Structure 1
Amino acid sequence: MDGVLVDSEPVWERVRRAFTAAHGGRWADDAQDRMMGMSTAEWSAYISEDFGIPLPPAEIAERVIAAMKEEYQVHLPLLPGAVDAVFALASRWPLAVASSAPKSLIEAVLDASGMRPAFAAAVSSEEVPRGKPAPDVYLEATARLGRPAASCAAIEDSTNGLRSAAAAGCTVIAVPRPEYPPAADALKLASITLDSLTALSAEKIAAL
């Protein structure tokens, strides 16, 4: 979802930076890249342990997620072509969300965008033992679809997301965000790379 359907990474970075600054923490230059793909439990623990913020991870997560919801209520940053691509693909195949976002944010995005009916399943990495780059969230999503991962295509933008989908055995389609380019070795895991979802079609997926 993040970075594929919604341009949320800049929002996550802005919210987490503001939270860190407000609590006297230290924001590392590579912090956002490191947290992309982490589960809620993982990134909140990372902020608590590495940023010098004397709050328990659960409280950090609660406050940051609440700030994200407020941001989405003001403006939901859907990426170009996202809604059209989702409904076009849903008319041909069952779709699932496999996201590192907390479940409450996944639901907020699907409801606000009107995309919920297009998805047969939605899985947060909160619901599995490990976040991306581990394959857990993709394996759970494909299981809920009732399909082996090897018969599924995964659309991803980030280093950890690409690695997660590939580790699960999915055919990987990369739609990287230029502001947060994935590592070269992760990008090589993709069968095709597209500039945006406007370039994605059922025919391109079927050809894979």
Structure 2
Amino acid sequence: MFDLDGVLVDSEPVWEEVRRAFVAEHGGTWQPDTQSRLMGMSTGEWAEYLHSLGVSMPPDEIARGVVDQMAARYRDGVPLMPGAVETVRRLSGAVTLGLASSSPRRLIDVVLDAAELNECFAATVSTEEVDRGKPAPDGYLEAARRIGADPRKCVAVEDSSNGLRSAHAAGMRVIAVPHPRYPPAPDALALAWRVLPGLDELTSDLLLV
């Protein structure tokens, strides 16, 4: 089970830039812990949170405006993580792959289309499609359900604190590939079964242990 943002796509800097500017442009105040709190939230959750920062728009309009800007940025080029495409294609020939992402479905589809990875995943889930975003386990549990797998026999690949907590709460073994700019909290990283420096280290032999 792959996460998307921060694992396959180096999108967290883009999300931060877009949402930070959106908050400032619409009367809100970005807080020191805002970015870390946003990582893993579903679309509805982060839109509500930005509204609570003083953005003078209803949450559904906030979500639509931010996602429109993200889609526009992706049209200029999707910032894939090093080794992302090669790793997914290599592993898809050996194990069944799923994806559980906090990104809205619209952006998941843009990324997978651009990277030509759609055929590699047996199921993809956006937290828009479940009740709760990360750190709740809902997205990972739904992805496991869609591929017909026992969550306890799945391995999740994550980078963020909320993502690590989500996959662990789902009962999965968790491999952490920390993002250098947004490292997970020590207590979240401690939940990881393995910690890898990059996707190139992720092999089918490791997943099948």
TM-score by length of 2: 0.97
Deviation at 1:178, TM superposition (A): 1.3
Match for 1:52: what amino acid?
Answer: G
Task: Provide the rounded CA distance (Å) in 2 between the counterparts of 1:152 and 1:128.
Answer: 19
Which of these residues, 122, 132, 138, is aligned with residue 134 of structure 2?
132
CA distance in 2, matches of 1:53, 1:154: 34
Distance apart, 1:173 and its partner CA: 0.3
Q: CA deviation at 1:29?
A: 1.2
Match of 2:145 among 138, 143, 146: 143
Distance 1:17 1:29 in 2: 11
The equivalent of 1:64 in structure 2 is 66
| Identical positions, percent | 55
Equivalence for 1:113:
115
SS of aligned partner of 2:207: helix
Deviation per CA, 1:34-91: give whole Å up to 9, x if none.
Answer: 0000000000000001x11111000000000000000101121000010111011110
What's 1:174 paired with? 176
| Cα RMSD after superposing both structures | 0.7
Q: Give the ranges of 4+ consecutive aligned residues of structure 1 lying more than 3 Å apart after TM superposition.
A: none
Q: Structure 1: where are the runs of 5+ without partners? A: none
Query: Which residue matches 2:154?
Result: 152
**What is the rounded CA distance, in whole Å, between the counterparts of 2:69 and 2:36 in structure 1?**
20
Instruction: Quote the residue 1:24 is aligned against.
Output: 27
Give secondary structure in 2 for the equivalent of 1:178.
Answer: coil
Shift of 1:24: 2.0
In the aligned structure 1, how far is the partner of 2:203 from the partner of 2:32?
36
TM-score (norm: length of structure 1): 0.98
**Equivalence for 1:163:** 165
Alignment: residue pair count: 206
Note if contact 2:95-2:204 (Cα within 8 Å) is conserved in structure 1: no
1:9 to 8, 12, 37: 12
